C-alpha cells in the first residue's frame, strides 16, 4: 500500500491548552500522499484535538499545520480543506434531510454520489429521511460525506463505530482501494485489530505528546516473539526449566518464554524430566500488544 509521494500533511510544534490543562504539547509529525496512517492512543490523549487542528476547526496556541503545502488555521483553512474530507466525533446529520440530500451538500456530481452509495451499500435507504437511520446507517452516511467529493486527504475519527462486521470489511477494502489511487487517510480508532489490517504507519500519542511515529514494518520488527509450551504436567515442567536456568513463566495452561532460546535443548530438559510435551507454538505480538507495551515504556 505504501507509496513514494510528496508529503501531504506536516505538523510542527503544535500546542493547545484549555485553561491550565495542556491538551497538546509540541506535536510533530508528517506523512505522504497515498499513505494510510493510524492515530492511536488512550482516551483523552488528544487525538480528536489533533484532527480538529488539522482541519482548522479550533485555534492553537503555538505551532503550525500545512496540508498540500498550504498553512491551515481557523482563519486560512477554507481553501485548503476543500481538498479534505472528514468525519470527526459523530456525523453532522440533519434529521429531516435524506441521505442523498446530505451528499448533495458536499458535491454537485450525481456520478460521485452514486459511486459512494454503491461503494458503502447504502442504496436501500439513501432516499429516506436521516431521522429514520440506525446508528450504523448514520455512520455510513458520515463516511460517505467525507468521501463523496474525492478529497486528497480523508480524516476519520472512529469510523468503525456502529458498523456491523460486513460493513467494517467493506470499509477496509474501500479505504485500501482509494489509497492505492493516491488518497491519503488519517484514521483514529480504538479497534486496533481492524486498523492493523490496512494502515501503513502509526502515530502513537499519549497525554498530548507524540510518543512515536513508525511504519508497520518497523513495528513488526519490534514485535516480540514468545515460545508457548503445553505439557502433561506444567508445574513439574516449570520447576525443571527454572532449575535449568530458563526464564519461563506459567500463564493458565501454558508455559511462556519471551527470550529467544534454542528449542532442542529446552525440550530435552522437559523430556529428561519424563514429562510429555503436548504442544509447542511460537507467537508474535500483535499491534495492540506492541503499542500497549510501547505506551507503558513511554510512561516509564
- How far apart are the C-alpha atoms of 180 and 178, rounded to whole Å? 5
Which pLDDT does position 42 carry in this prediction? 85
* All three cell numbers of 26: 509540541
pLDDT tier, 81 (very low <50, low <70, confident <90, very high otherwise): low
Cα angle vertex 178, ends 292, 14, to 5°?
A: 50
Q: What is the pLDDT of residues 100-112, one digit of tens each?
A: 999 999 999 999 9
* Domains contained in the chain, CATH given: 7-221 (3.40.50.300), 225-284 (3.30.70)
Q: What is the pLDDT of residues 168-190, one digit of tens each?
A: 999 999 999 999 999 999 999 88
SS3 280: strand
pLDDT tier, 300 (very low <50, low <70, confident <90, very high otherwise): very low
Say what percent of the chain tops pLDDT 90: 64
Mean pLDDT of the chain: 89
Q: What is the pLDDT of residues 129-147, one digit of tens each?
A: 999 999 999 999 999 999 9
- How far apart are the C-alpha atoms of 214 and 223, rounded to whole Å? 13
HSE, CB side, 13 Å, CA atoms: give it for residue 217: 2
Buried b (16+ CB within 10 A) or exposed e, 161-179: bbbeeebeebbbeebbebb
Q: What is the mean pLDDT of residues 204-233?
A: 88
Closest Cα to residue 203, out of 121, 124, 295? 295
pLDDT tier, 78 (very low <50, low <70, confident <90, very high otherwise): low
Q: What is the pLDDT of residues 2-29, one digit of tens each?
A: 444 478 999 999 999 988 888 999 999 9
Tell me, yes or no, if the pTM score tops 0.85: no
Residue 118 scores a pLDDT above 60: yes
Amino acid at each position: 500500500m505504501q507509496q513514494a509521494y510528496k508529503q501531504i500533511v506536516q505538523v510542527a510544534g503544535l500546542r493547545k491548552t484549555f485553561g491550565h490543562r495542556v491538551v497538546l504539547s509540541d506535536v510533530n509529525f508528517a506523512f505522504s500522499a497515498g499513505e494510510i496512517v493510524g492515530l492511536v492512543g488512550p482516551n483523552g490523549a488528544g487525538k480528536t484535538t489533533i484532527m480538529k487542528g488539522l482541519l482548522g476547526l479550533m485555534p492553537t496556541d503555538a505551532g503550525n499545520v500545512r496540508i498540500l503545502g498550504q498553512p491551515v488555521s481557523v482563519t486560512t483553512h477554507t481553501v485548503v480543506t476543500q481538498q479534505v474530507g472528514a468525519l470527526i466525533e459523530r456525523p453532522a446529520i440533519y434529521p429531516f434531510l435524506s441521505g442523498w440530500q446530505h451528499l448533495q451538500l458536499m458535491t454537485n456530481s450525481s456520478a460521485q454520489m452514486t459511486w459512494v452509495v454503491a461503494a458503502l451499500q447504502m442504496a436501500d435507504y439513501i432516499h429516506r429521511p436521516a431521522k429514520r437511520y440506525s446508528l450504523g446507517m448514520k455512520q455510513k452516511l458520515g463516511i460517505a460525506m467525507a468521501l463523496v467529493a474525492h478529497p486528497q486527504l480523508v480524516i476519520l475519527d472512529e469510523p468503525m463505530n456502529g458498523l456491523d462486521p460486513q460493513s467494517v470489511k467493506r470499509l477496509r477494502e474501500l479505504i485500501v482501494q482509494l489509497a492505492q489511487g493516491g488518497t491519503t487517510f488519517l484514521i483514529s480508532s480504538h479497534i486496533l485489530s481492524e486498523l492493523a489490517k490496512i494502515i501503513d504507519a502509526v502515530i502513537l500519542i499519549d497525554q498530548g505528546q507524540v510518543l512515536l511515529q513508525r511504519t508497520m514494518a518497523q513495528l513488526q520488527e519490534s514485535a516480540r516473539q514468545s515460545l508457548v509450551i503445553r505439557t502433561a504436567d506444567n508445574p513439574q515442567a516449570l520447576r525443571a526449566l527454572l532449575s535449568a536456568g530458563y526464564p519461563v513463566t506459567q500463564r493458565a495452561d501454558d508455559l511462556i518464554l519471551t527470550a529467544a532460546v534454542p528449542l532442542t535443548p529446552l525440550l530435552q530438559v522437559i523430556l529428561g524430566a519424563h514429562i510429555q510435551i503436548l504442544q509447542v507454538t511460537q507467537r508474535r505480538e500483535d499491534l495492540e500488544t506492541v503499542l500497549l507495551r510501547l505506551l507503558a515504556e513511554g510512561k516509564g
